[in-house]
């Protein structure tokens, strides 16, 4: 039997472990936000695994940017709906 390549999720777990000293150095109020970044990475791990990369950083950053883009779009949509409803009054 040949060796298998580590999965993308395994790479992400290693990356997360490597960043634990940084996380611990963050202020307590910032740590949940840092954790949420890795939640975004996990949410897109299936797509990132198609890249078959040994460096998880770039796909992780793209996953984070994608989730932030979605949040921005949601907020903009909500703002536009709020502006439209205030015009009706």
Q: How many CA atoms lie within 13 A of 31 on its CB side?
A: 9
User: Which domain, by its residues, includes 26?
Assistant: 8-87
* Per-residue pLDDT band at 89 (split at 50, 70, 90): low
The tokens describing 19, both together, are: 């960043």
Count: domains in the chain: 1
Decide if 14 is inside a domain.
Answer: yes
Decide if 2 is inside a domain.
Answer: no
Decide if 3 is inside a domain.
Answer: no
Give the DSSP letter of residue 28.
T
* Per-residue pLDDT band at 2 (split at 50, 70, 90): low
pTM passes above 0.85 = no
What does the pLDDT look like over 34-86, one tens digit per residue? Answer: 999 999 999 999 999 998 887 899 999 999 999 999 999 999 999 999 888 77
CA 32, 33, 39, 43 dihedral sign is positive
């Amino acid at each position: 039997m040949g060796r298998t390549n580590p999965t993308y999720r395994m790479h992400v777990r290693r990356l997360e472990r490597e960043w634990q000293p940084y996380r611990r150095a963050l202020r307590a109020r910032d740590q949940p936000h840092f954790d949420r970044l890795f939640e975004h990475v996990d949410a897109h791990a299936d797509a990132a695994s198609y890249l078959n990369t040994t460096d998880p950083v770039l796909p992780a950053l793209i996953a984070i940017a994608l989730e932030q883009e979605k949040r921005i779009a949601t907020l903009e949509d909500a703002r536009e709906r709020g502006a439209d409803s205030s015009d009706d009054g």
